[in-house]
Amino acid sequence: MADYYQLAVEKRGQTGISATKSLRKNGKIPANYYYKGEANVNLILDSKELFHALNSGNRVFEVEFDGNTQYVMIKEMQYHPVTENVLHVDLMRVRRDVKMTISVPIHLEGEAVGVNEGGVLSQILTSVEVECLPTDVPEFISVDVTELGMNSSLTVADIVVTGEFTILADEDQAIAAIAPPKEEEEPVVEELEEGEEGEELEEGEEGEEGEEGEEGEEGEEAPAKGGEEKDAAEDSTE
């Protein structure tokens, strides 16, 4: 059975945007307390106090206002989109003599045989819903994976219940599994076909040779023409 964390609260008199901004500026968080059939109550939480409560491992908290002690669970929290600071909290009252449904985290314990054999352990289910009295809410549910071998898995049916609660999840739902590590695929390097590379070189060589040949032919014709003019001049002199 989990011990209750006493969460300090105070009633909030003023509401509205201006009052809410002032609260947050002073390290306070607006909250709503509600219970079926009763009027909602506006409360104030201290941000540091809430931080400690969230890290206490408890899911149900004890609060006191108007001279009465009540038990609540955090139903919803709103966060700032940039700073991720808590902006608002909804507290739902629970009765200690009435069973409730709550999600409880699953902790894997032990060193699996399959991991020692080189396998990779994956946790598929991180929490499970249970039904119990608020006084019997477990902090977490332990699942021993020591005997879990390669290519094997554990399901909800393998959970050993050690408290006063009932698991509501399907017994066939997988919790954890071990599989062989995935082989890394070698990157595929695209290689040019021999014909393509050869053709490019041949085209380049032919182009250069063709240009050189044209230049050579033009160079050879020029002296020949000059020689003809020279011969004509000599004939006229004679």
Domain ranges within the chain, ordered by starting residue? 5-94, 101-179
Going through the chain in order, the beta strands assigned E by DSSP cover 5-6, 9-11, 28-34, 41-46, 60-65, 68-79, 86-94, 100-109, 120-123, 127-132, 141-144, 152-155, 166-167, 174-179
Report the distance separating Cα 19 and Cα 23, nearest Å.
Answer: 6
5-94 and 101-179: same fold? no
Q: Is the pTM of this model over 0.85?
A: no
Q: Which CATH superfamily is domain 5-94 in?
A: Ribosomal Protein L25; Chain P (2.40.240.10)
Q: Tell me the fold of 101-179.
A: RNA Polymerase Alpha Subunit; Chain A, domain 2 (2.170.120)
pLDDT means over runs of 10, the chain (238 residues): 79 89 93 90 94 86 90 92 94 89 93 95 96 88 96 96 94 97 73 55 50 48 49 46
